[in-house]
């Protein structure tokens, strides 16, 4: 984090007592930290404390004549590499979701192009309230990273989710949000993950056993490698990786539509989702009643998301996944060639393999390459896959540069 510029927003809540230590931990790693406090935050911790640990004057007033003579709030918004609100109260989450700009901190969040992350801290009932859940869902959809909260004892004497993450944990998670110099720095990566659901009637659907864990791990690894990441997720309950923009979809048609909307400007497309190959030809408008011993469902093919992207005129680097129960490598290679992919990651599934597991193993095939990633946890495998993708992109760039030099 050496030289990275962190704008730390502190809102009103007892968890604000942890924030000076957070500043100290960030500065230990070489970051510059500018603290911005809300009026409510000053009821819990003084500006003098933050000035002492940050080495910078604390900002708190939108109407500061000295600072605003030079449009200080815009200057701060442009200064930051990342904005972290810790603690983020329920009130601030609501104002941020509503796009309000009624104090300096909220205004900065609207005026910055840097990644914004929030570390919620509140009573567990406030965190569980439908209004808070809706605000968090909206912020997540817009690309705000939600860091936490943790679960445990609270200042009110009750126990539950709502504790702000500890400073060291926040520092580690924040690191993933910072502009990187990794293998995919400057690249835009679009990833699909999870299953799809194809409706039979208003209460039934056809789906599969995909948990989405591998796709979410790939999204995290791509972000760690410096990429801008958009994750199109089927119906799963996994937390969004830090710094990743997430779009939730349900059916194969929904996923295709979201992918095509996000495709322009994409450098790498990674299809980890287990998209349904077939769907009911006609979904019943009302619940199907149990009136006979058998039920026949007419099925029709869905549009192949992966093949559609691979056939696109201005296609990105396209990576597929092959989940096979037999002849894993042979079937994966056939898929690689048939769908005109650049790379494919194959694994064996079924019989307690891959699905609902924390680990996996992969065979990664390219047009002229083969790699084996030994059994490991899914994040480790995802990092290995991203490294292979980065190496292939670098090799292609080198070939193009040599070709241009010869021309």
**Residue 266 and residue 319 in contact, taking contact as beta carbons nearer than 8 Å:** no
Q: Which of 39, 125, 156, 395 is catalytic?
A: 156
Residues 6+ apart with CB under 8 A from 189: 219, 222, 227, 228, 229, 230, 266, 267, 268, 269, 270
Query: Residue 379 has which token pair?
Result: 């994040």
Q: Is 156 part of the annotated catalytic residue set? A: yes
- Per DSSP, the residues of 362-387 read EEEEESS-EEEEEEEEHHHHHHHHHH
CA-derived radius of gyration, the chain: 24
Between the CA atoms of 183, 189, 194 and 198, what dihedral angle is there, to the nearest 10 degrees? Answer: -160
Tokens 């990794």, residue located:
182
Compute how many other C-beta atoms are within 10 angstroms of the C-beta atom of residue 80.
Answer: 22
Cα distances (Å, whole numbers) of residue 175 to 11, 37, 168, 180, 253: 21, 22, 11, 9, 35
Kindly list the catalytic residues. 156
């Amino acid at each position: 984090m050496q030289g990275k510029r962190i704008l730390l927003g502190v809102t009103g809540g007892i968890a604000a007592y942890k924030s000076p230590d957070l500043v100290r931990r960030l500065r230990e790693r070489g970051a510059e930290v500018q603290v911005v406090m809300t009026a409510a935050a000053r009821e819990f911790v003084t500006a003098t404390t933050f000035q002492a640990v940050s080495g910078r004057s604390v900002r708190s007033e939108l109407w500061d004549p000295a600072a605003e003579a030079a449009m200080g709030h815009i200057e701060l918004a442009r200064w930051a590499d990342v904005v972290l609100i810790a603690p983020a109260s329920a009130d601030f989450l609501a104002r941020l979701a509503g796009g309000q700009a009624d104090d300096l901190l909220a205004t900065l969040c609207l005026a910055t192009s840097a990644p914004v992350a929030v570390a919620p801290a509140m009573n567990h009932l406030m965190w569980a309230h439908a209004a808070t859940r809706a605000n968090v869902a909206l912020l997540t959809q817009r690309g705000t990273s939600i860091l936490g909260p943790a679960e445990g004892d609270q200042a009110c004497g009750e126990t539950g989710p709502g504790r702000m993450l500890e400073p060291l944990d926040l520092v580690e998670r924040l690191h993933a949000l910072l502009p990187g110099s990794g293998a995919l720095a400057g690249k835009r990566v679009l990833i699909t993950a999870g299953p799809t659901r194809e409706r039979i009637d208003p209460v039934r659907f056809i789906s599969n056993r995909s948990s989405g864990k591998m796709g979410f791990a790939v999204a995290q690894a791509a972000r760690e490698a410096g990429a801008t990441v958009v994750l199109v997720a089927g119906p799963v309950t996994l937390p969004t990786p830090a710094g990743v923009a997430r779009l939730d979809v349900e059916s194969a048609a929904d996923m295709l539509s979201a992918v095509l909307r996000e495709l322009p400007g994409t450098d790498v497309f990674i299809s980890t989702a287990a998209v349904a190959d077939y769907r009911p030809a006609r979904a019943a408008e009302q619940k199907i009643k149990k009136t006979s011993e058998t039920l026949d469902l007419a099925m029709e093919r869905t549009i192949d998301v992966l093949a559609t992207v691979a056939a696109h005129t201005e296609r990105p680097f396209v990576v597929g996944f092959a989940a096979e129960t037999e002849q894993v490598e042979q079937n994966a290679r056939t898929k690689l060639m048939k769908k005109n992919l650049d790379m494919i990651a194959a694994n064996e599934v079924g019989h307690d393999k891959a699905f609902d597991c924390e680990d996996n193993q992969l065979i990664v095939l390219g047009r002229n390459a083969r790699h084996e990633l030994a059994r490991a946890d899914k994040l480790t495998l995802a990092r290995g896959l991203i490294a292979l993708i980065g190496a292939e992109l670098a090799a292609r760039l080198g070939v193009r540069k040599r070709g241009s030099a010869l021309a």
